[in-house]
Amino acid sequence: MTRINDIILRTTTTLIAFILLGFSIYLFFAGHNAPGGGFIGGLMTSAAFVLMYMAYGFRALQKILPINFRYVIPVGLIIALATGIGSFIFGEPFLSQTYAYFQLPVLGKTELATALLFDLGVYLTVIGVTMTIILTIANDRGEAN
């Protein structure tokens, strides 16, 4: 069988994966007052990872991105739970949220809400679940050696 040269796919992947990651981060931060949020941002990030896995193969991506996605799920769940428990410190009910205005260096006056931390937990959990499902299904051949 001749070797297949897929240089066009690889070159477009290097460009498009960055656009995808940027778009996913935009969706993650836009979720407060526009369509978007943690769920769709996590799905977009895992779509970028899947595109890189399709273009470069499993072995190369393990070297580039040495993350075991199974450990990302509990990290996200713990972040989401910690934002819920953190409201007990201030004597508020479970999962209460608050916001405040801060003067950030580049962005100027910005509203920062604690709901963003809960969204970060959702984001990490969605990335972990999606990548675990896809990589577990993909690993059926050559697992023994």
Partner 1 sequence: MEHMLDVTQSLIEYTTLICITGVSISLIILLYRAIKGPSNPDRAVALDIIGINLMALAGLIAILLVTTKFNDVILLIGILLFIGTVALAKFLEKGVIIERDMD
Candidates 116, 121, 133; CA nearest to 46 is 133
Place of tokens 């994966």: 17
The tokens describing 83, both together, are: 């934002």
Q: What is the DSSP letter of 114?
A: T
Place of tokens 């809960």: 118
| Residues numbered 32-71 forming contacts with partner 1, rule: CB under 8 A | 34-36, 40, 44, 47, 50-51, 53-54, 56-60
Instruction: Compute the least distance from the CB of residue 55 to partner 1, in Å.
Output: 8
The one segment of 81-89, 102-110, 122-130, 131-139 that binds partner 1 by CB under 8 A: 131-139
Cα separation of 117 and 115, whole Å?
A: 5
Contact between 9 and partner 1 by CB under 8 A: the answer reads: yes
- The nearer residue to partner 1, 80 or 128, going by C-beta atoms, is 128
Contact between 21 and partner 1 by CB under 8 A: the answer reads: no
108: alpha, beta or left? (left if phi > 0; alpha if psi -120 to 50): left
Residues of this chain that bind partner 1 (CB under 8 A):
4, 9, 16, 20, 23, 27, 30, 34-36, 40, 44, 47, 50-51, 53-54, 56-60, 134-135, 138-139, 141-142
